[in-house]
Structure 1
Amino acid sequence: MELRLLVTFEKVATLLSFTRAAAELTYAQSSVTSQIRALEAALGAELFDRLGSRIRLTEAGERLLPYARRIIELSEEARAAVADAEEPAGSLTVGTMESLTSYRLPPLLELFHHRYPKVRLALRTTIGDETRQALRRGTYDLGFLMEAETEHVGLDSEVLAVEPLALVAAPGHPLAGSTVTLPDLVRQSLLATEPGCAYRDLFERELNTLAESVQFMEFGTIEATKRAAAAGLGISLLPEVTVAAELAEGALVRLDWEPSFTLRTQLAWRAGKRLPAHARLFVEQTRKLVAERG
């Protein structure tokens, strides 16, 4: 089996899309299709079921995938071991989340783009359990977590920082300027991102100790949630880093309330996995960035 065929197979299997795999690999879609057919011919088994415009792995494809990932991983380790140490190289698939991608990671991505151009980063936006499962399966090389827990089954992780949270509202909100209690909150219009986000779920759990089935007005993104809060639609608990600019400008105010739980931003990878040099570099530079910026 040729390594390039396994690389193409792994990308299609991860994305479950020939089109997206072709775009990420910078191949023509016909080339991806022909490579998958060549691999299927070499193995004597179909690797994907074609279901109209969708695809899924066959049983043979499911069995091949972990082997393909191990071979690719070993290949990249071997390449890094003999390459010039001053030229880190290799691909990294990183699970992240909106609050980090938009508000913390841009300086890190800029650093890798300019200083380490041979390290190819692919960011995947997922949260919570999705990220943990993808790390265990080997779909992601590294993943950012924002969790109260710091130990995760099947994963090794490093705590980067405590993630401060801020309860925010429009400047004219009735609770602005006064000490806020939990009973005050359950009577308010509450705004939130989607379920599955750790701080939203923990906030909801805390509110539910006083009232059954607290209702949230849900928004798809942090940006939309902030805009709704600034427009006076309600209050929202969000990572402080995501609302720092609005608080500084006065578009939002911070309410006098602190949650009982603490979130920690972490970087995780599959337990026991030996991280290649370019992955260790990413961990090191991430640690440095968080330490510098707080």
Structure 2
Amino acid sequence: MELRLLVTFEKVATVLSFTQAAAELKYAQSSVTGQIRSLESSLGTELFDRLGSRIRLTEAGERLLPYARQMIELAEEARAAVLGAEEPAGPLTVGTMESLTSYRLPPLLELFHHRYPGVRLSLRTTIGDETRQALRQGAYDVGFLMERETEHAGLETAVLADEPLALVAAPGHPLAASAALSTADLTDQVLLATEPGCAYRDLFELDLESVAEHPVSFMEFGTIEATKRAAAAELGISLLPEVTVAGELADGVLVRLPWEPPFTLRTQLAWRAGKRLPAHARLFVEQAVRLVREQQRASRG
């Protein structure tokens, strides 16, 4: 089995799209299709079921995938060892989330773009269980999590920092003048949130339901930016990571309400347990830890 065919197979198996795989690998789609057919021919079995415009792995493809990933990882490691690894290089698929991509990661991405151009970063936006599952399956090399727990089955983690949360509203909101608020004070308010699956939204909902006399519901928005704008327009209140609303709080567009969440979230970087991270992935973890901690020190100072 040729390594380049396995690389193409792994990419198609990860994104489940010949078109997307071709774009990410910078091949013509016909080349990707031809390489998959060559691999299937050499193995004497089909690796994908073609379902109209969609594809999925066959049982044989499912069995091949972890071996393909191991062989690709070993090839990258061998190349680095032979070349002396003076400059970190290699592909790195990173699971992330909107709050981190937009507000925590720009300095890290800028660092790798300018200083380590050989590291080819590919960001995938998922949250919570999706990210953990993708890491366990090997679809992601590393993934960012924002969770209360710091131990996750089948994963190793590096805790980057505690992630403060802020309950915010427009300056004209009735609660903005309150001296103190309890959870019970919030249950009759219009609650604004991103989609379910964010740890802070789910934990907030559980806390509200523990004291509410009626079911708690949220007005849901697709993004943090949309949620902030809704809060600024006096549509309701929202609990969000403090880093995502720091600018609006400083400018007075939003105000912080006097309520502290009874839970703490920690931003973490995780990878599959037992996986030998190549040098460029270890560098990414080290730099992520350093930069996020520097950001937090600067925000406190």
TM-score where L is the length of structure 2: 0.96
Residues in 1 aligned to 2:184 and 2:87: alpha-carbon distance in whole angstroms: 57
Which of 226, 232, 235 is 1:233 aligned to? 235
- Aligned-pair CA distance for 1:291: 1.7
Q: Secondary structure at the match of 2:274?
A: coil
User: In the TM superposition, what whole-angstrom CA distance separates every residue of 1:98-147 from its partner, at most 9, and x where no partner exists?
Assistant: 00001110111111011100000001000000000111111111010100
Residues in 2 aligned to 1:108 and 1:80: alpha-carbon distance in whole angstroms: 22
- Aligned-pair CA distance for 1:272: 1.4
Which position in structure 2 is the counterpart of 1:97?
97
Q: Secondary structure at the match of 2:200?
A: helix
Which position in structure 2 is the counterpart of 1:293?
295
Which position in structure 1 is the counterpart of 2:206?
205
Which position in structure 2 is the counterpart of 1:34?
34
Q: Secondary structure at the match of 2:122?
A: strand
Which position in structure 2 is the counterpart of 1:157?
157
Query: How do 1:1-294 residues align onto structure 2 when only pairs under 5 Å count?
Result: 1-178=1-178, 179-211=180-212, 212-294=214-296
CA contact (8 A) 1:170 1:252 kept: yes
User: In the TM superposition, what whole-angstrom CA distance separates every residue of 1:158-199 from its partner, at most 9, and x where no partner exists?
Assistant: 111000000000010111131111111001000001001100
Residues in 2 aligned to 1:102 and 1:215: alpha-carbon distance in whole angstroms: 27
CA contact (8 A) 1:177 1:256 kept: no
CA contact (8 A) 1:96 1:145 kept: yes
Residues in 2 aligned to 1:99 and 1:106: alpha-carbon distance in whole angstroms: 11
- Structure 1 ranges of 4+ moved more than 3 A: none
Q: Secondary structure at the match of 1:176?
A: helix
User: In the TM superposition, what whole-angstrom CA distance separates every residue of 1:229-256 from its partner, at most 9, and x where no partner exists?
Assistant: 0000000000000000111111100000
Residues in 1 aligned to 2:186 and 2:233: alpha-carbon distance in whole angstroms: 18
Residues in 1 aligned to 2:38 and 2:250: alpha-carbon distance in whole angstroms: 58
Residues in 1 aligned to 2:278 and 2:52: alpha-carbon distance in whole angstroms: 38
- Aligned-pair CA distance for 1:84: 3.6
- Aligned-pair CA distance for 1:285: 0.7
Residues in 2 aligned to 1:187 and 1:74: alpha-carbon distance in whole angstroms: 56
Q: Secondary structure at the match of 2:175?
A: coil
Residues in 1 aligned to 2:134 and 2:41: alpha-carbon distance in whole angstroms: 29
Q: Secondary structure at the match of 1:260?
A: coil
Which position in structure 1 is the counterpart of 2:299?
none
Residues in 2 aligned to 1:133 and 1:48: alpha-carbon distance in whole angstroms: 21
Letter in 2 for 1:187: D
User: In the TM superposition, what whole-angstrom CA distance separates every residue of 1:24-73 from its partner, at most 9, and x where no partner exists?
Assistant: 00000000000000000000001111111100011111111111011111
Residues in 2 aligned to 1:133 and 1:177: alpha-carbon distance in whole angstroms: 43
Residues in 2 aligned to 1:22 and 1:213: alpha-carbon distance in whole angstroms: 47
- Cα RMSD for the two superposed structures: 0.8
Instruction: In structure 2, list runs of 5 or more residues that go unmatched.
Output: 297-301
| Count of aligned positions | 294
- Aligned-pair CA distance for 1:80: 1.5
Residues in 2 aligned to 1:48 and 1:91: alpha-carbon distance in whole angstroms: 24
Letter in 1 for 2:220: E
Q: Secondary structure at the match of 2:176?
A: coil
Residues in 2 aligned to 1:250 and 1:201: alpha-carbon distance in whole angstroms: 27
Q: Secondary structure at the match of 2:120?
A: strand
Residues in 2 aligned to 1:290 and 1:84: alpha-carbon distance in whole angstroms: 29
Q: Secondary structure at the match of 2:174?
A: coil
Identity percentage over the alignment?
Answer: 82
- Aligned-pair CA distance for 1:86: 2.6
CA contact (8 A) 1:165 1:238 kept: yes
CA contact (8 A) 1:3 1:72 kept: yes
- Aligned-pair CA distance for 1:200: 0.2
CA contact (8 A) 1:192 1:236 kept: yes
Residues in 2 aligned to 1:69 and 1:239: alpha-carbon distance in whole angstroms: 35
Residues in 2 aligned to 1:82 and 1:277: alpha-carbon distance in whole angstroms: 13
